[in-house]
Amino acid sequence: MLKPMCHWRLFPPFWILLALAATPLHAGDAKTEVLALMTMQQEAWNRGDLSGFLAEYERTEGITFVGKTVSRGYAGLEARYRQAYGSREKMGRLTFSELEFHPLGENSAFLIGRFALKRTQTGGGDASGRFTIVLRKSAAGWRIIHDHTSAD
């Protein structure tokens, strides 16, 4: 007498497909989340909310900002931004463009882009340039851990 055959044994790839279907697509989610972070930064800046803009940076001593000088640690980063952009007029209107997302792993990535600031002459005049930021994902979400910005 023949034993009834269990059909699931005939298709071991079924279990693999089931496991893959339950796994989120990290790269697509990461890109969406990082681009949303950039939108939040741009919106905070354009509201004149420097604290909201800085909220997307990781609050650690290991964070770095490279521009004309190097700022280390969150306190140094915050001091640099407050000195350079301490008034609404100095902040002007910020636009990010040409954003290129590059995953480095499941919990890290870098983003290349352009920035443009529209300001009055008394606010410092218009400014633009390129940036590269490195981001890390933690329980708090994606945060910027390194920022290298160069003016045109």
pTM higher than the cut 0.85: no
| Residue segments in the chain with a per-residue pLDDT below the cut of 50 | 6-25
Amino acid found at 114: R
Amino acid found at 55: A
pLDDT confidence of residue 27: 56
Q: What is the CA angle 87-90-92, rounded to 5?
A: 110
Instruction: Name residue 103's beta-bridge partners.
Output: 109
pLDDT confidence of residue 24: 43
Nearest Cα neighbor of 114 from 135, 100, 93 is 100
Q: CB–CB of 119/90 below 8 Å? A: yes
Give the chain's mean pLDDT.
87
CATH code 3.20.20.140 for 25-151: no
Q: Which residues of 16-49 are buried (b: 16+ CB within 10 A; e: fewer)?
A: eeeeeeeeeeeeeebbebbeebbeebbebbeeee
Q: How far apart are the C-alpha atoms of 147 and 45, rounded to whole Å? A: 16
Nearest Cα neighbor of 74 from 95, 51, 91 is 51
